[in-house]
Amino acid sequence: MRLYNSIGRKVVEFSPLDDRKVMMYVCGLTPYDSTHIGHARTYVAFDVIKKYLVKKGYEVYHIQNITDVEDKIINRCKESGADPKELTEGVHDEALELFDRLHISRADAYPKVTEHIPDIIGFIKRIMEKGYAYETETGVYFDVSKFRDYGKLSGQNLGEIKAGARVEVDETKDSPEDFALWKKGEDIIAFDSPWGKGRPGWHIECSVMSLKYANRDTLDVHGGARDLIFPHHENEIAQSEAATGKTFSKYWLHTGFLTVHGEKMSKSLGNFITLKDGLEKFSPNALRFFYVQSHYRSPLDYDEEVIKSMEDGVEKIFNALRLIGENKKENEKDDEFREKTGEEIKGFYDAMDNDFDTPGAIASLFNLVRTVNGHLGKEKTDNETLGHVKEEIGEMLGILGLEMEKVSLEGKEKEIKAVAEEFGVAGEEPAGIIEKLVELRNTAREKKDYSTSDGIRSRLKEIGIILEDKQEGGTSWRIE
């Protein structure tokens, strides 16, 4: 399996430190406001990566921090009068519920900054003892000039950084590019430390909590959105390797930017879309399929018409599974079908082995579905191979995180009875009424009463009941 390593900017073979165990850290949320569709893009991408690694036989230990101490949180609490703990916990809990709906598997650990202050203080002390940091009247700062490899992730050198990169302005620092490990000062969130009251800098938390929960000095995979490469991830590398003397992470993976109508998402532009809004407009499968249709490293532009079209794409896959399950045709071995489906299944995994190429994998999946649909049209079918293919498609859907939603007739009883009354059908149980409507429709079709047959089909579709006519005869129904 190969992946693109941001730190060398090339595709390399994946070989974790432990043969079968992968330590993966993904930068988490700063929970001061509703999670948005850009966050979801990143977390869906790493969820697919995680699911595929598990499919390959790895045990993945996934760590994702919660930045519950940060300027945005402090400012929001000052503006609103909210309690920082209540604000961050409420926002993060809501985000996890939305991620659950999007079929994102939860991390194994969600460490909070506020619960690891002693660990952070101890880590800063180690950095200072090794001569990489200094104290001023405003805080403790990492001396970037002391770390010779600074810039190895972003590709920037100190000259470029000094010329105007994103740096913290503070006249007390030795150099503008030096970054804060500890910020001194009283505020609504502040902790005791050897350097006085204050709070951790943004970057130090990730180094401390990732290594603490990995229980070793080197991670296998560190991930996040592309905009974190500099300065956040660059600074994580510097402070971690200064403290431990070891490589901080063997592989660095970054997701591409998500834009809305070609522009960066922001409230000031009026194009800020929360994940909650997205899931109110679209099904979890449609939104998730929209994300994975693009390579995780590629830029992605939010397009509601494209997302709507994803519903049909997902339904084609699910429908193939249903048709295989309903197939009752006589069995006949088909070598050509076996060979073709085998190639398409291999194509899916070859694509995933190539830097988690989900667009290529999905192309192979759709080829497989078309082959299955064509085979099901034959008089006799290779039922053994169809059973195998059904299992394989299920595995592929599991990797992509697409799930056949468990929908019931609950809540549709009134609407179903209204349709039944319209066509003169009686009954009590919703499922029984639908069967009677299907029977009436089929009788109407035989009599060429297309007004009635089309009317029943159309009215049922309006309330989310889909009728499907089988090639071998008969009609099945399902909930949309």
Pair 78, 128 in one domain? yes
Q: Are residues 396 and 367 part of one domain?
A: yes
Report pLDDT digits (tens) over 11-53.
Answer: 999 999 998 999 999 999 999 999 999 999 999 999 999 999 9
Query: What pLDDT, in 10s, does the model give residues 109-145?
Result: 999 999 999 999 999 999 999 999 999 999 999 999 9
Q: Is residue 109 part of a domain?
A: yes
Evaluate whether residue 269 is within a structural domain: no
Is the same domain home to 196 and 228? yes
Domain match, 388 and 419 both: no
End position of a domain, from candidates 400, 435, 459 = 400
Pull the structure tokens for residue 237.
């590398």
Residue 405 lies in a domain: no
Range of the domain at 464: 413-479
pLDDT at 413 over 90: no
Higher model confidence: residue 439 or residue 344? Answer: 344
Cβ atoms of 91 and 32 within 8 Å: the answer is yes
Is residue 48 domain-shared with residue 138, that is, in the same domain? yes
435 within 8 A of 467, measured Cβ to Cβ: no
Last residue of a domain, one of 373, 400, 427: 400
Q: Is residue 358 part of a domain?
A: yes
Q: Say whether both 228 and 333 belong to one domain.
A: no
Q: Each residue of 81-104: pLDDT tens digit?
A: 999 999 999 999 999 999 999 999
**CATH number of the CATH domain containing 207:** 3.40.50.620
The secondary structure element, H or E, covering residue 59 is: strand 59-64
Q: Please report, for residues 61, 198, 214, 251, 293, the alpha-carbon distance to residue 6 in angstroms, rounded to integers and kept in the order given.
A: 21, 33, 21, 7, 21
- Residue 297 tokens read as 């490293």
- Domain boundary residue among 197, 225, 255? 255
* Dihedral over Cα of 189, 192, 197, 200: its sign: negative
Determine the 3-state secondary structure of 174 from DSSP.
coil
- Does residue 280 fall inside a structural domain? no
Looking at the structure, do residues 396 and 417 belong to the same domain, yes or no? no
Task: Note the pLDDT of residue 166.
Answer: 47
CATH of the domain at 364: 1.20.120
416-438 pLDDT, tens digit each? 999 999 999 888 788 889 889 99
Q: What is the residue-wise DSSP string for 200-240? A: E-HHHHHHHHHHHHHTSS-EEEEEEEGGGIIIIIHHHHHHH
Q: Is 291 within the bounds of a domain? A: no
Q: Domain check: are 213 and 346 in the same one?
A: no
Residues 395 and 427 in one domain: no
> Residue 208: inside a domain, yes or no?
yes
Strand 300-302: give its sheet, edge to edge.
263-264, 258-260, 300-302
Signed CA dihedral, 440, 445, 449, 451: sign only: positive
Query: Residue type at 444?
Result: A
d(CA 261, CA 245): 45
In the beta sheet, which residues pair with residue 451?
Answer: none
Residues 53 and 28 in one domain: yes
**Are residues 36 and 136 located together in one domain of the fold?**
yes
390 with 242, same domain: the answer is no
Domain count for the chain, please give it: 3
User: How high is the pLDDT of residue 271?
Assistant: 83
Residue 262 lies inside a defined structural domain of this protein: no
In order of 238, 337, 360, the CA distances from 234 in angstroms are 6, 51, 31
Q: Is 228's pLDDT higher than 70? A: yes
